[in-house]
Amino acid sequence: MVRIRFHLDEQVERSIAEGLRRRNIDVTTTPEAGLLGASDRAQLAFAISQQRVIFTQDDDFLAIHQQGLEHCGIVYSHQKNRSIGEIVRGLILIWEVLDSSEMENHVEFV
């Protein structure tokens, strides 16, 4: 089983990355990757190049998925719909249950 590695989109709270890292989950963030202000497609290209699943609260990524563009996986949560703790628990569950190949071109909702 190849573990999922996450990339957190620009508007995602930093504390979510911290919560995942405390559990030894591999995660990058948009600011760390030098992608602040980058387009959604640039974010996607970075995630693909690093073989990472994107976690986002931006519905534009759902549209990208609907267009049939390939990706390593998208996890989506509507903004303000879930607490940081709920999001972290949801991402941990996905990390525990799915492997990276199961996330390819797939969307999960938290």
**What is the structure's pLDDT at 11?**
86
**What is the structure's pLDDT at 64?**
93
Neighbours of 104 (CB within 10 A): 13
Strand pairing report for 107-109 and 53-56: unpaired
**What is the structure's pLDDT at 1?**
81
Residue 56 DSSP SS3: strand
**What is the structure's pLDDT at 79?**
81
**What is the structure's pLDDT at 76?**
97
State how far the alpha carbon of 52 is from the alpha carbons of 33, 37, 79, in Å.
Answer: 12, 19, 21
pLDDT along the chain (110 residues), means of 10: 94 94 97 94 95 96 94 93 94 97 96
**What is the structure's pLDDT at 21?**
98
Sign of torsion, CA 12 17 19 24?
A: positive
Which DSSP letter does residue 8 get?
A: E
Q: Which pair of structure tokens corresponds to residue 22?
A: 């405390």
